[in-house]
Structure 1
Amino acid sequence: MTTTNKRKLTLFALTWPIFIEVLLHMLMGSADTLMLSQYSDDSVAAVGVANQILALIIVMFGFVATGTSILIAQNLGANQQKTAREISAVSIGANLLFGLLLSVLIFIFGKPILLLMNIPTELMDEAKSYLLIVGGFSFIQSLIMTIGAIVRSYGFTRDIMYITIGMNILNVVGNYLFIFGPFGFPVLGVEGVAISTTVSRILGLVVSVIVLLKRIDGKLPIKMLYSFPKVHIKKLLNIGIPSAGEQLSWNASQMVITFFIAMLGTEALTSKVYVQNLMMFILLFGVAISQGTQIMIGYMVGSGQLNEAYKRCLNSLYLAIGISFLMALLFSFFSENLLGIFTDNKEIISIGTTLILLTIILEPGRSFNLVIISSLRAAGDVKFPVYMGIISMWGVSVTLAYILGIYFELGLVGIWIAFIADEWLRGLLMLWRWRSKVWHKKSFVEAKAV
């Protein structure tokens, strides 16, 4: 296993499968938006608001999934097959219980949450319908995430990629049937998209379980699914909670900013959804590079190659900045055409074009955070990115979004300027932290502890 891992540890070899998998996940979300845009702009805005809440829930499932991935990899590397199987079972049971709890809470409190987000009245019914169906079955997603983390840790990354492809195809077919109503199918709009998303996830889960039982080395200890031994739970949470804290804070701050945007009206909400769907494809490159870099730095730090780890992070950062800048520039040239795929509303296209132009500045700043935060985590410096993230996201992004967007009435342009200020401030702080090499001591402690 060690030889194989060393042979595969190049940025390209690690990044391209991650790139494809993340791309497929993004396409699954964009498929809903694109197909719904042919049905109604209001429906797009309603699903966009509901997805802000669902994104927060998915991050919470990541608490267990992140810890699972790291612990299983460590135990497999140490040839502790039995412990790896135990952690697999415990993580599935823990995230299932957590997922069921959140599903029930969403089903009960879905409408009050939407009201708190100040959603326009005309969007409430559709947003509520989508949230209750997809959110009510969110425990399915918790299991998919956990099993995916386990299978990837066992080295079968392509299996998860193929499952994701299948889920995408089923989701698109289901959307087509329920939005356009061919062959006598009922036209259900947002409700149909929610059903399609849920059914594709259920079928994806069934296949994921089959793959897990086939790929795992030995039998899964069924007792561990519900016994929850304290030693394993503690380790999962100790790794997972700090790693997910920064992302959790970001999603929560985005929900507050969505509340501000809702004050600007339905067109502003719809514009945000369309532009952020396009931005995800620019972000994709940075996400793939950061995750590949994280794996490489983890190995380098573990083997004491601190200088190589330092250089690897910076080289990956330069690559991510360059690619994100060029992609944002390319998207800005074709912004009207790209937005025209989703809508023919001239006001939305006009606002969206300006926001994509600002993205040329925004996305390179985001690359700092994607690459360096992943590197700091891999080196054992977990808490600093969380603390700085919370301060910047709420002190800069949320605060400036209200001051510029609402108080000074700059609208979405003001809110995008707030995003830029947040990403660049955090990014430069992360770069300072990496260059200070404080993580040298932390990585030594982590390596020693392991």
Structure 2
Amino acid sequence: MSTKTTADKNTKSVFLEGDNLSNKDIRKKVVLLAWPAIVEMFLMTFKQIVDSSMVGRLNEESIAAVGLSMSPMMFFMGLFAALGVGATAVVARHIGAKQYEEANLAGRQSVIMSVSVAVLITLILFPLAPIIINLMGAETEVIPLGTSYLRIISAGILFISTTFILSGVLRGSGDTKTPMRVNAIANIANIILNFFFIFETREMMLLGLEFKMPGVGMGVQGAALGTSLSRAIAGILVVKTLLKGKSVIKIKLTDSFKPDFPMIKRIVKVGIPTAIERMAMSSGQVLFTRIVASLGTTSMAAHHLAINAESLSFMPGFGFSMAATTLVGQGLGAKDSKLAERCGYETWRLGMAVMSFMGIIFLFFPEVIMNFLTNEPEVRELGAMCLRIVAIAQPPFATAIIMSGGLRGAGDTTFPAVSAAIGMLGVRLVLALFFAFILEWGLFGAWLAMASDLYVRGLIIFFRFKSGRWKEIDV
């Protein structure tokens, strides 16, 4: 059987072709692509919540250390995500046009980029960890905890990069199930490893049975070590999948890994605006976290836990966003812009329904969620307040996430970057300073500023997608 025939068979379930597709057909395709990504995001969210719950059982300083470390890490992870978006868009175009050899070439070049960028960032981040934590506004007792956490996490950046970028390659081909399986295994490993490394050996009871649970008792450092090891598992599994040739995208060790600069340029061209967007977002998050940290350790702990709880909503939103990126990209690759547009709208409607439902839960049952995350009464109360505020911003947040995914699939990555800069730097940070300090509303004011940012970004992205200008962009 020829390569092309095999690829056609493998991609048949990825994209429905034809001029007379009903909205129901499109929704089925959206669900087919979105549900593995949603499960993947849910598992990541569940892992984060369980991790936060474990660290939350230590003390406020430990919670704050992890929260302060994650903001700069998100800054660098934004670069990996950007290259993953570039790879997804380029691969999706070639898959839609049935140009499978070019899609494989894009996959190999993505491997080169993932390794190169990861090595560079590790060499920067590891020695600067204590300076970064100090600049984040950590209180004296938090600095050593945050420094050790950040250094251990940075040691696994190669695996983070590999997982992000190569998962983007798989999603561009329409394979969202493999990243889901990989992250499911890695997340389960993360929970087990974190429990083992964080807590000391102790007596436990499960289903009426008493037993001794072994543990190392490393605390915050144990959380970082468990997370890094689980990310190594994820990176190895993604590479193994591509090497085995079970995906539409096939990479062999005997293939040429010589840099193909025209292909790298295409991926980077799409990825650079997304990198700017992620860095604008991450920079804003760093500054926003700095603002919250200045409100005290209790506010910082509540903020960190509330963000983790909110991820129950926006992580599924990112799952729908991935589906939008793939379907819009493949639709345009197949020269059917009308179908690409319909796929974008149907994905948005489904994703917004899910996120709005979660908003209702945040509005009426925030205490239930916060009770799971911490035993600290004041932290629970402040965290519940934050969830109620962000509950009303879930519809525009869904719009910003999902329609941005559609724009990225079309190669229109500049506009999401502009909207992120306007929303984060021009709205969130300005209003956070005004509400939190000038009006003295504290953490309430900071989260009100965040909700305002989400409304602004949602409106900007909606009108951009509606304009249809993204249909004319060449990738």
Normalised TM-score (structure 1) = 0.91
Question: How far did 1:347 drift?
Answer: 1.4
Question: In 1, Cα distance between the equivalents of 2:243 and 2:354?
Answer: 39
Residue 228 of structure 2 corresponds to which residue in structure 1? Answer: 198
Question: How far did 1:130 drift?
Answer: 0.6
Question: How far did 1:315 drift?
Answer: 4.5
Residue 167 of structure 2 corresponds to which residue in structure 1? Answer: 148
- The SS at the match of 1:6 is coil
Question: How far did 1:304 drift?
Answer: 5.0
Q: How does 1:13-412 map to 2 (within 5 A)?
A: 13-182=32-201, 185-215=215-245, 220=252, 224-225=256-257, 227-303=258-334, 305-412=336-443
- The SS at the match of 1:53 is helix
Question: In 2, Cα distance between the equivalents of 1:159 and 1:310?
Answer: 26
Question: How far did 1:80 drift?
Answer: 4.2
**Structure 2 gap ranges (5+):** 1-7, 17-24, 202-212
The 1:388–1:164 alpha-carbon spacing in structure 2 relative to 1, beyond 3 Å, is closer
Question: How far did 1:222 drift?
Answer: 5.3
Question: In 2, Cα distance between the equivalents of 1:33 and 1:218?
Answer: 37
Do structure 1's residue 444 and structure 2's residue 472 form an aligned pair? yes
Do structure 1's residue 4 and structure 2's residue 13 form an aligned pair? yes
Superimposed CA distance per residue, residues 396-441 of structure 1 (whole angstroms, 9 cap, x where no aligned partner): 111111111122211111111111111111211222223333x1xx
- The SS at the match of 2:393 is helix
The 1:209–1:431 alpha-carbon spacing in structure 2 relative to 1, beyond 3 Å, is closer
Superimposed CA distance per residue, residues 234-257 of structure 1 (whole angstroms, 9 cap, x where no aligned partner): 112111112333232111101001
Question: In 2, Cα distance between the equivalents of 1:416 and 1:275?
Answer: 10
Question: In 1, Cα distance between the equivalents of 2:150 and 2:195?
Answer: 20
Is the 1:143–1:205 Cα contact (8 Å) retained in structure 2? yes
Question: How far did 1:157 drift?
Answer: 3.3
Normalised TM-score (structure 2) = 0.86
In structure 2, give the amino acid aligned to 1:373: S
Question: In 2, Cα distance between the equivalents of 1:219 and 1:436?
Answer: 38
Is the 1:104–1:136 Cα contact (8 Å) retained in structure 2? no
In structure 1, give the amino acid aligned to 2:252: L
In structure 1, give the amino acid aligned to 2:376: N
Is the 2:96–2:333 Cα contact (8 Å) retained in structure 1? no
Q: How does 1:414-433 map to 2 (within 5 A)?
A: 414-433=445-464
Question: In 1, Cα distance between the equivalents of 2:93 and 2:334?
Answer: 13
Question: In 1, Cα distance between the equivalents of 2:97 and 2:321?
Answer: 25
- The SS at the match of 2:252 is coil
Question: In 1, Cα distance between the equivalents of 2:172 and 2:402?
Answer: 21
The 1:153–1:286 alpha-carbon spacing in structure 2 relative to 1, beyond 3 Å, is closer
Question: In 2, Cα distance between the equivalents of 1:153 and 1:319?
Answer: 20
The answer to which of 79-88 and 368-377 deviates more is 79-88
Question: In 1, Cα distance between the equivalents of 2:333 and 2:99?
Answer: 18
Is the 2:14–2:174 Cα contact (8 Å) retained in structure 1? no
Q: Compare the two structures and name the one with the higher helix fraction.
A: 1
Question: In 2, Cα distance between the equivalents of 1:89 and 1:388?
Answer: 32
Question: How far did 1:365 drift?
Answer: 2.0
The 1:221–1:85 alpha-carbon spacing in structure 2 relative to 1, beyond 3 Å, is farther
In structure 1, give the amino acid aligned to 2:382: I
**Structure 1 gap ranges (5+):** none
Is the 2:324–2:406 Cα contact (8 Å) retained in structure 1? yes
The 1:263–1:333 alpha-carbon spacing in structure 2 relative to 1, beyond 3 Å, is same
Question: How far did 1:74 drift?
Answer: 3.3
- The SS at the match of 1:149 is helix
Superimposed CA distance per residue, residues 35-77 of structure 1 (whole angstroms, 9 cap, x where no aligned partner): 1112223211111110111111111112322222233333344
In structure 1, give the amino acid aligned to 2:275: A
- The SS at the match of 1:121 is coil
- The SS at the match of 2:218 is coil
Question: In 1, Cα distance between the equivalents of 2:181 and 2:169?
Answer: 15
- The SS at the match of 2:14 is helix
The answer to which of 351-360 and 253-262 deviates more is 351-360
RMSD of the TM alignment (CA)? 2.4
Is the 2:33–2:176 Cα contact (8 Å) retained in structure 1? no
Question: In 2, Cα distance between the equivalents of 1:276 and 1:298?
Answer: 31
Identity over aligned pairs, percent: 25
- The SS at the match of 1:220 is coil
Question: In 1, Cα distance between the equivalents of 2:81 and 2:325?
Answer: 17
The 1:218–1:335 alpha-carbon spacing in structure 2 relative to 1, beyond 3 Å, is closer
Superimposed CA distance per residue, residues 331-352 of structure 1 (whole angstroms, 9 cap, x where no aligned partner): 3322112111122222112212
The 1:288–1:65 alpha-carbon spacing in structure 2 relative to 1, beyond 3 Å, is closer
The 1:408–1:284 alpha-carbon spacing in structure 2 relative to 1, beyond 3 Å, is same
Is the 2:325–2:406 Cα contact (8 Å) retained in structure 1? yes
Superimposed CA distance per residue, residues 351-378 of structure 1 (whole angstroms, 9 cap, x where no aligned partner): 1222111122122221121122222233
Is the 1:179–1:188 Cα contact (8 Å) retained in structure 2? yes
The 1:425–1:23 alpha-carbon spacing in structure 2 relative to 1, beyond 3 Å, is same
The total of aligned residue pairs comes to: 443
Question: How far did 1:259 drift?
Answer: 0.6
In structure 2, give the amino acid aligned to 1:259: R
In structure 2, give the amino acid aligned to 1:190: V
Question: In 1, Cα distance between the equivalents of 2:423 and 2:362?
Answer: 27
Question: In 2, Cα distance between the equivalents of 1:313 and 1:413?
Answer: 34
Is the 1:89–1:221 Cα contact (8 Å) retained in structure 2? no
The answer to which of 70-79 and 408-417 deviates more is 70-79
The 1:4–1:189 alpha-carbon spacing in structure 2 relative to 1, beyond 3 Å, is same
Residue 4 of structure 2 corresponds to which residue in structure 1? Answer: none
Superimposed CA distance per residue, residues 244-302 of structure 1 (whole angstroms, 9 cap, x where no aligned partner): 33232111101001111111010010000111111000113322223223333334444
Question: How far did 1:107 drift?
Answer: 0.7
The 1:196–1:295 alpha-carbon spacing in structure 2 relative to 1, beyond 3 Å, is same
